Amino acid sequence: MKKLLYLFLTVALIGCTGSDDVDYEYFSEELENNVYTYSGVSRHSNGSGPDLEYNYDVYYSFDFNQYAYYENVVTDWPERSECYATYYQEGGVITSNEKDAVTYLLGSMTYRYTRQGTGVKMTVQRSSGSVAVTNLTKSSSDDLANAIEGKRSSNTCD
C-alpha cells in the first residue's frame, strides 16, 4: 500500500511540473492569448544592378471580437528599419470554433486557423477561389515588444 501511495504521488507531482500549457476549450482562446510569427526575405529592385534582399519578421496577435488578425512587421531594409508597420483586418465573425481550429468570415474572405504542433496554419480563401497559406510559429509578447522597441510606428515614418 505504501508503494502504491508513493507511486501515485510521484506520478501526480511529475504531471504538475514543467508544463506551462493551458488547456483551452476553443482554439480562438489559445490564439488570443499568444503571439505567432513568421520570417522571410524581401527583394527590392533599385532599377540598376542586382536586387537588394532584406529580412522581415511578421508578428500576429488575435482579438476575434475586433479583428481577423493584427500584425506588426519589422524589417532590416534601411529605408524602413527604424519603423514597424501595423496591419489588421477589422470586423467579421467566427463561424466555427473547435479545439484545434477556428474559422472567421470577413466580407468575401474566409480565414481558417488550424493547429500545427505548437504553430498555426493560416489559410485565407477569397471569394474568387484563390487561397493563401501561411505557417506561423509560436512566439511571445516579449519577442514582439523587443522587435518593435525603439522603432517608430509606420504612420509616423511615411
Report field, pTM of the whole predicted structure over 0.85: no
CA distance linking residue 98 with residue 24, whole number of Å: 10
The CATH number of the domain holding residue 85 is: 2.40.128
Q: Is residue 8 part of a domain?
A: no
Q: For residue 81, give its domain range.
A: 24-151
Residues 6+ apart with CB under 8 A from 93: 104, 105, 106
Q: Is residue 59 part of a domain?
A: yes
Q: Is residue 156 part of a domain?
A: no
pLDDT (tens digit, 9 = 90+) per residue, 65-74?
999 999 999 9
Contact indicator for 131, 142 with CB cutoff of 8 Å: no
Q: Is residue 5 part of a domain?
A: no
Q: Is residue 66 part of a domain?
A: yes
pLDDT (tens digit, 9 = 90+) per residue, 25-74?
999 999 999 999 999 998 878 777 778 899 999 999 999 999 999 999 99
Q: Is residue 1 part of a domain?
A: no
pLDDT (tens digit, 9 = 90+) per residue, 114-154?
999 999 999 999 999 999 999 999 999 999 999 999 988 87
Q: Is residue 11 part of a domain?
A: no
Q: Is the pLDDT of residue 24 over 80?
A: yes
Q: Is residue 52 part of a domain?
A: yes
The structural domain count of the chain equals: 1
